[in-house]
Chains A and B, each alone.
Chain A
């Protein structure tokens, strides 16, 4: 199945596959939203304003995850110089960028009724803003640097430096005093979210991942086509 991601095979990516994924995604998001907005209980302290969590938390995970892929892809790119890696990371960047913006905006909307303020420059919020800026830098490099190899090198460096921001974001709430609360979901300890809220959260996360996957596949196919066309043009 992963062979499909190789440049030769991706062009055969069926539009039917995209349509199928799209239908599944819409169903998953619909179920997720039903639970998120109506069926799941309100929080014992925050009431219904906690429901923004069902968009804010998955967006944050996806924003971080996408840059993780971009960062690791950048490292592999500089070491092995495999041509389709930058085509993949190029396709991931806009999705991750949008989700980092969604995370920041939904977080701000959540902060006003709960904390009492729209924004603070604590470690978590600041490092997330820096992530958003790294995404912009990565995307603009590919947009404004005309030479493919130059853009490849510069964007890979941006990807690797930005990779160091990711553990800072994750541990910002543990290493320093922040207004943002510490993690409710971690790899090493039990979640501090009740299962009636955790399950809709997972459903929404899955739906948003599917959305990201669809956008990525469509974008990657386009990038491969563009790349092959440019190679042909340069040969003439």
Chain B
């Protein structure tokens, strides 16, 4: 009797958990646009009906040697190694903002190639190492 009860509870729970998995999957799928924190330049390019002048975020790497600073503003190119967008920003950037490193810009697209940012966030990757190791890695590249 007890084993029968246990077996029926197990079945009930398995079905319930399966249903939960499906429901959660569907909810997450439908909310996808709101869950992603930023779009890559390629995703911007591929979007068929991008609304200009709507607040969005784009993310990627700062293209090497693309940073141009002047008195109050900064211009740089954000790339995902396939497509690029030019970003311009008035204000100070985070300390970790630098060429070849990750960045997220929040603002408005003027057109598919030009973005005006009202805030800049630096994104760092998952690698942690002492400066000496990083220098040794750089040297071994050449």
B120 — which chain A residues lie within 8 A by C-beta? 116
A176→B32 contact, CB < 8 A: yes
A interface SS class: loop
- Which of under 10, 10 to 19, 20 to 34, or 35 or more describes the interface residues of B? 35 or more
Per-residue CB contact flags for chain A residues 21-45 toward chain B (1 = under 8 Å, else 0) read: 0000000000000000000011111
**Chain A residues bordering chain B, tally (CB within 8 A):** 38
B37→A197 contact, CB < 8 A: no
Interchain CA distance A152-B132 in the complex, whole Å: 54
A117→B121 contact, CB < 8 A: yes
Q: Check B122 for interface membership: any CB of A closer than 8 A.
A: yes
Interchain CA distance A164-B66 in the complex, whole Å: 43
A181→B32 contact, CB < 8 A: no
When A44-B131, A44-B134, A197-B129 are in contact, do A120 and B37 touch as well, CB less than 8 Å?
yes
B35 — which chain A residues lie within 8 A by C-beta? 123, 176
Please name the residue on chain A nearest to B131 by beta carbon. A44
Give residues of chain B (98-142) contacting chain A, Cβ–Cβ below 8 Å: 101, 104, 119-134
Measuring CB to CB, which residues of chain B are less than 8 angstroms from any residue of chain A? Answer: 6, 9-10, 13, 17, 20-21, 24, 28, 32, 35-40, 59, 93-97, 101, 104, 119-134
Measuring CB to CB, which residues of chain A are less than 8 angstroms from any residue of chain B? Answer: 41-46, 50, 53, 75, 78-80, 113-117, 120-123, 160-161, 164, 168, 176-179, 181-184, 192-194, 196-197
